[in-house]
C-alpha cells in the first residue's frame, strides 16, 4: 500500500520549521485555557497535543438527539472521528475500527458503549466530570488500544449540597442525584430508562416489528479519609433488551446485552510532590441472541470478563513530571458460541483465560519557554496459549511558534491483545471479542501525527496530519446467518492482515459570549489488505470516508433562549456491491464486485434544537427543549439490497431497495437542575 501520506507530514514539518525561524516570541500560551473557559463556552477544542477535551457545561447548548445530550455521539463530530453511518455510536478514529478505540470509565474498560441502533451511548452526562479523547501523544499508562483512548471520569469531588439534574422526554428520562453525607462523604446516583418502542417503529424495515427498551445506572461514592487520601468507589450498569419479528425472512428473535463495571481506588498524597492512585476493578460484557430462522431456533452468545489492578504514581519535580506504575488484568473471553436450541448441533469455542500485564514510565518535561517534551515507554506482556512481549515507545513534542501559535508532533507505538471481530456496521451487539492467538496475533500500530493551532481573538483554528500503519488487523468475512447454517466455528472466516490510514484534520472555531461556531473537516483514507480477501489486493476499510464534515452552531439571542444546529456530511460507506443477477433454474444468483468496492450514498443530515429557559444559572436551571433530528428527512441508507419479483406474465422485475434506520425524529423534553 502507498506511503505517499508521509510526504504530507514532511511538508507540514518543513512549513513549521520555516515559521519557527522567523518568530522567536515565546509567551505563555495554552489552548486548554480556551477549552474550559466559561465565558466563551467553547464546547471542545484541540489541546497542546491535538487531543480533545469536552466542556461538560457547554454541552447543554448542542442539539439533542431524541431529547437527550449524548457525549459519545458528540465525539463523532470532532476532527478525526468519522461519522460512519446512522445507527452507530461507536468511535472510529483515524481509520481504525471500533474495537481499536478503547473507552475507559475511571480507568475501567467499557466494552460496548452503544445502545441498540445507535440511539444513545450508555453514559449519563450529568454523572460525568470530564472526558478526554487521546488520538496522538498518548501517555504510556494507557494501553490495549491501537487507535485511540477515551478517558471518561465521573464526579470525584465532595458535593456541598443536595442536588438533582436530569431530563424528562418522550423517549427516555434520566436523573443524577448528588447527596452530601457529613463533611467527608458524598454519593452520586444516576439512572436512565427508555420507553422507546414507538421510536423503533419508525425504523424502515418492511414487514417487521420491534419492541425495545434499555436502562443505564451508576453509583459513585467519594470518601475523604484525611491523611490517608481520597477513596472513590464507582459502578456502572447498562442493559438492552429487544424483541423483533421479520415476516419477510420468517424469523424472530430476542437480543439482550449488558455491561457491568466497577472499581475502588485510593488516591493518596505523599508529601507535596508525590501522588499515587491504586485501583482494583472489574468489567463484564455479555450478549445473547435467541433467534428463529426458517423454523430453526438458535442461541448465539458472546462475552468477556476482566478483573484487574493498577498503580499510577506521579512525581512532580517542577519542570519535570514523572509518571510510573504497573497494571495487571485477567480476562475470560467467550468468543461467539452458537447452539441449536433444539439440541441437534453445536458450534462455538471454549472459554479463553488470558493474562495481560504492563509496566510503564512517562516523563513530561516543560521548559521555561513553554516547550513540552513527553517521552514514555510501556512494556506489555500477554499470555494465552503462548507468551508475547512488546515494548511500546511514545514521544511527543509541543512548542510555541508565537504568542498565539503552537505546533506539535508525536509518535506512538501501540499494541492490542483483545480483538473485536465486527459482524455489523450498526450498534447491534453482534460483534464479539477474541483473544490474540497464533491465528490472530496481537495488533500493532505505528502512529505519526503533526499539527499546528493558532487563535486570533475570537477565532481559532487547528490543522493536523496523521499517518497510521497497522499490523495484524482482523476481518470477519461472513454473516451471522451463514454461521448459523455452517458447521465451522468462528475462526473459519476470521483473517489477519495489514492496514494503513492517513489524513488531514482541520478545526475552525468562532466564539463570542452569545455565539459558538465550529467547523470540523477531515480528508482521509483507510485501507486493508488480506491474502484471503479481494485476491490479496488492498481495499477500503469499513470506516473509510474520503470526506467527513461537521458544522456546529449555538446562539443565545437572549438569556431565555438557546438555539442550536448541527450539520453532518460524510462520504458513503464502502460495501461489496452486486454486479449482476442471474437465473439458474428456479434460483436467482448474484454476482458481486470487488470487496468493499461499492459506495453507499453520501450521509448527511441537519439537526435543530431550541431551548426556552425558565431559569438558568451555574447551580440551577430549568427549561423546555424542542429538537428535530434530520430536519429535511433525508434517507441515509444502511445497506442496499435487490428485490426480485415475478408477475403473472412471468416478467421479472428487479428493484434496488435502500434500507434505512430512521429519518426525521422530533422530540420534546424538560431539562432541569436543582
Q: What is the pLDDT of residues 356-377, one digit of tens each?
A: 999 999 999 988 788 999 999 9
> In angstroms, how far is CA 141 from the centroid of its own chain?
19
Output the pLDDT for position 112. 86
Span 241-270, average pLDDT: 80
Span 214-229, average pLDDT: 93
Span 654-665, average pLDDT: 76
Which set of grid coordinates corresponds to residue 576?
Answer: 461489496
Output the pLDDT for position 17. 37
Span 183-210, average pLDDT: 73
Output the pLDDT for position 18. 38
pLDDT digits (tens, 9 = 90+) for 430-461: 678 889 988 889 999 999 999 999 988 889 99
pLDDT digits (tens, 9 = 90+) for 564-618: 999 999 998 888 888 777 776 666 777 778 888 888 889 999 999 999 999 988 7
Give the separation between CA 94 and CA 148, rounded to whole angstroms: 8
Most trustworthy range by pLDDT among 364-368, 376-380, 531-535: 376-380
Query: Does residue 39 have a pLDDT over 70?
Result: no
Query: Does residue 41 have a pLDDT over 60?
Result: no
Span 485-500, average pLDDT: 75
Confidence of residue 22 (pLDDT cuts 50, 70, 90): very low
Output the pLDDT for position 385. 85
pLDDT digits (tens, 9 = 90+) for 78-115: 898 986 667 677 889 999 988 899 999 999 999 988 88
By DSSP bridging, strand 148-154 and strand 101-105 are: parallel
Query: Does residue 321 have a pLDDT over 80?
Result: yes
pTM (2 d.p.): 0.86
Confidence of residue 189 (pLDDT cuts 50, 70, 90): very high
Which of 136, 20, 77, 50 lies closest to 453, judged by CA?
A: 50
Which set of grid coordinates corresponds to residue 296?
Answer: 430453526
Query: Does residue 34 have a pLDDT over 80?
Result: no
Residue 156 is classified by DSSP as: -
Residue 441 is classified by DSSP as: P
Which of 610, 645, 515, 466 lies closest to 5, judged by CA?
A: 466
Output the pLDDT for position 200. 59
Burial of 339 (0-12, 13-18, 19+ CB in 10 A): middle
Give the separation between CA 162 and CA 165, rounded to whole angstroms: 11
User: Under a CB-based contact definition with an 8 Å cutoff, are residues 634 and 658 in contact?
Assistant: no
What distance, in Å, lies between the first and last C-alpha atoms of the chain?
57
Question: What percentage of the chain exceeds 70 in pLDDT?
Answer: 81
pLDDT digits (tens, 9 = 90+) for 276-301: 999 999 999 998 888 776 667 777 78
Output the pLDDT for position 532. 87
Output the pLDDT for position 16. 35
Span 495-511, average pLDDT: 93
Output the pLDDT for position 35. 36
Output the pLDDT for position 1. 62
Output the pLDDT for position 93. 93
Which set of grid coordinates corresponds to residue 561?
Answer: 433562549
Strand partners, 130: 153
Output the pLDDT for position 53. 83
Question: What mean pLDDT is reported for the chain?
Answer: 82
Which of 559, 636, 642 lies closest to 605, judged by CA?
A: 636
Element spanning 101, H or E: strand 101-105
Give the separation between CA 203 and CA 635, rounded to whole angstroms: 11
Which set of grid coordinates corresponds to residue 87?
Answer: 445507527
Which set of grid coordinates corresponds to residue 498?
Answer: 495489514
Which set of grid coordinates corresponds to residue 139?
Answer: 501517555
Give the separation between CA 502 and CA 498, rounded to whole angstroms: 14
Locate the domains of the chain by residue range.
5-673
Give the separation between CA 395 and CA 410, rounded to whole angstroms: 6
Which set of grid coordinates corresponds to residue 337?
Answer: 458460541
For 5-673, CATH number out of 2.40.170.20, 1.20.1290.10, 3.30.420.40, 3.30.1280.10 equals 2.40.170.20
Span 215-237, average pLDDT: 94
User: Under a CB-based contact definition with an 8 Å cutoff, are residues 51 and 136 in contact?
Assistant: yes
Span 10-19, average pLDDT: 36
**What sign does the dihedral 5-503-433-280 (CA atoms) show?**
positive
Output the pLDDT for position 432. 84
Which set of grid coordinates corresponds to residue 406?
Answer: 503552537
Query: Does residue 33 have a pLDDT over 60?
Result: no
pLDDT digits (tens, 9 = 90+) for 60-74: 777 777 667 888 888
Output the pLDDT for position 199. 59
Output the pLDDT for position 19. 36
SS3 68: strand
Q: 43 or 616, which is more confident?
A: 616
Output the pLDDT for position 246. 58
List b or e across 461-486, with b for residues whose CB sees 16 or more CB atoms inside 10 angstroms. bbbbbbbbbbbbbbbbebebeebbee
- Which of left, alpha, beta for 318 (phi over 0: left; psi -120 to 50: alpha)? left
Output the pLDDT for position 406. 92
Give the separation between CA 475 and CA 454, rounded to whole angstroms: 40
Backbone angles phi, psi at 354, to 5 degrees: -130, 160
Query: Does residue 511 have a pLDDT over 60?
Result: yes
Which of 381, 386, 391 lies closest to 358, judged by CA?
A: 381
Confidence of residue 349 (pLDDT cuts 50, 70, 90): low
H helical segments located in 262-339: none
Amino acid at each position: 500500500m502507498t506511503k505517499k501520506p508521509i510526504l504530507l507530514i514532511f511538508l507540514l514539518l518543513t512549513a513549521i520549521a520555516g515559521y519557527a525561524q522567523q518568530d522567536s516570541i515565546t509567551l505563555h500560551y495554552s489552548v486548554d485555557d480556551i477549552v474550559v473557559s466559561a465565558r466563551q463556552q467553547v464546547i471542545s477544542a484541540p489541546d497542546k497535543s491535538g487531543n480533545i477535551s469536552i466542556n461538560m457545561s457547554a454541552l447543554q447548548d448542542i442539539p439533542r438527539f431524541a431529547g437527550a445530550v449524548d457525549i459519545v455521539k458528540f465525539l463523532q463530530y470532532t476532527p478525526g472521528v468519522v461519522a460512519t453511518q446512522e445507527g452507530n455510536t461507536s468511535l472510529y478514529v483515524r481509520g481504525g475500527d471500533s474495537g481499536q478505540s478503547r473507552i475507559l470509565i475511571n480507568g475501567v474498560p467499557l466494552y460496548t458503549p452503544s445502545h441498540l441502533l445507535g440511539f444513545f451511548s450508555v453514559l449519563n452526562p450529568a454523572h460525568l466530570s470530564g472526558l478526554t479523547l487521546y488520538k496522538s501523544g498518548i501517555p504510556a499508562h494507557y494501553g490495549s488500544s491501537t487507535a485511540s483512548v477515551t478517558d471518561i471520569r465521573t464526579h470525584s469531588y465532595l458535593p456541598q449540597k443536595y442536588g438533582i439534574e436530569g431530563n424528562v422526554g418522550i423517549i427516555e428520562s434520566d436523573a443524577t442525584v448528588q447527596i452530601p453525607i457529613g463533611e467527608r462523604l458524598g454519593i452520586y446516583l444516576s439512572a436512565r430508562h427508555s420507553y422507546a418502542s414507538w421510536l423503533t417503529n419508525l425504523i424502515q424495515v418492511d414487514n417487521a416489528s420491534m419492541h425495545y427498551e434499555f436502562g443505564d445506572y451508576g453509583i459513585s461514592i467519594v470518601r475523604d479519609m484525611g491523611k490517608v487520601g481520597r477513596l472513590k468507589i464507582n459502578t456502572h450498569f447498562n442493559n438492552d433488551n429487544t424483541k423483533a419479528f421479520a415476516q419477510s425472512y420468517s424469523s424472530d428473535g430476542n437480543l439482550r446485552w449488558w455491561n457491568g463495571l466497577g472499581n475502588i481506588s485510593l488516591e493518596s498524597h505523599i508529601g507535596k510532590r508525590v501522588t499515587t492512585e491504586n485501583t482494583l476493578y472489574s468489567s463484564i460484557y455479555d450478549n445473547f441472541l435467541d433467534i428463529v430462522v426458517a423454523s430453526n431456533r438458535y442461541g448465539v452468545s458472546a462475552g468477556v470478563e476482566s478483573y484487574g489492578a493498577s498503580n499510577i504514581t506521579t512525581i512532580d519535580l517542577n519542570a519535570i513530571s514523572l509518571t510510573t506504575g504497573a497494571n495487571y488484568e485477567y480476562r475470560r473471553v467467550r468468543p461467539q458460541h452458537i447452539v441449536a436450541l433444539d439440541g441437534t448441533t453445536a458450534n462455538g469455542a471454549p472459554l479463553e483465560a488470558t493474562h495481560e500485564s504492563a509496566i510503564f514510565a512517562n516523563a513530561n518535561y516543560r521548559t521555561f519557554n513553554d516547550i513540552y517534551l513527553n517521552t514514555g515507554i510501556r512494556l506489555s506482556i500477554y499470555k494465552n496459549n503462548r507468551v508475547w512481549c512488546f515494548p511500546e515507545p511514545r514521544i511527543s513534542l509541543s512548542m510555541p511558534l508565537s504568542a498565539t501559535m503552537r505546533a506539535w508532533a508525536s509518535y506512538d507505538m501501540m499494541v492490542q491483545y483483545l480483538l473485536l471481530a465486527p459482524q455489523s456496521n450498526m450498534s447491534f451487539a453482534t460483534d464479539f471479542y477474541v483473544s490474540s492467538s497464533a491465528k490472530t496475533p496481537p495488533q500493532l500500530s505505528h502512529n505519526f501525527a503533526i499539527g499546528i493551532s493558532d487563535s486570533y481573538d475570537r477565532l481559532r483554528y487547528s490543522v493536523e496530519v496523521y499517518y497510521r500503519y497497522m499490523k495484524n488487523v482482523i476481518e470477519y468475512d461472513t454473516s451471522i446467518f451463514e454461521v448459523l447454517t455452517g458447521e465451522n466455528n468462528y475462526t473459519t472466516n476470521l483473517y489477519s492482515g495489514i492496514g494503513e490510514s492517513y489524513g488531514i484534520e482541520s478545526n475552525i472555531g468562532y466564539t463570542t459570549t452569545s455565539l459558538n461556531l465550529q467547523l470540523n473537516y477531515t480528508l482521509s483514507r483507510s485501507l486493508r489488505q488480506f491474502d484471503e480477501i479481494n485476491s490479496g489486493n488492498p481495499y477500503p476499510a469499513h470506516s473509510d470516508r474520503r470526506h467527513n464534515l461537521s458544522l456546529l452552531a449555538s446562539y443565545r439571542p437572549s438569556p431565555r433562549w438557546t438555539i442550536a444546529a448541527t450539520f453532518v456530511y460524510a462520504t458513503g460507506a464502502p460495501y461489496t456491491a452486486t454486479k449482476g443477477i442471474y437465473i439458474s433454474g428456479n434460483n436467482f444468483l448474484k454476482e458481486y464486485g470487488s470487496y468493499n468496492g461499492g459506495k453507499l450514498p453520501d450521509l448527511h443530515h441537519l439537526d435543530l434544537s431550541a431551548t426556552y429557559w425558565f431559569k438558568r444559572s451555574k447551580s440551577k436551571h430549568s427549561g423546555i427543549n424542542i429538537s428535530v433530528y434530520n430536519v429535511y428527512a433525508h434517507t441515509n441508507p444502511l445497506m442496499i439490497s435487490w428485490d426480485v419479483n415475478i408477475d403473472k406474465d412471468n416478467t421479472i422485475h428487479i428493484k434496488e431497495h435502500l434500507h434505512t434506520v430512521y429519518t426525521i425524529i422530533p422530540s420534546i423534553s424538560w431539562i432541569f437542575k436543582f
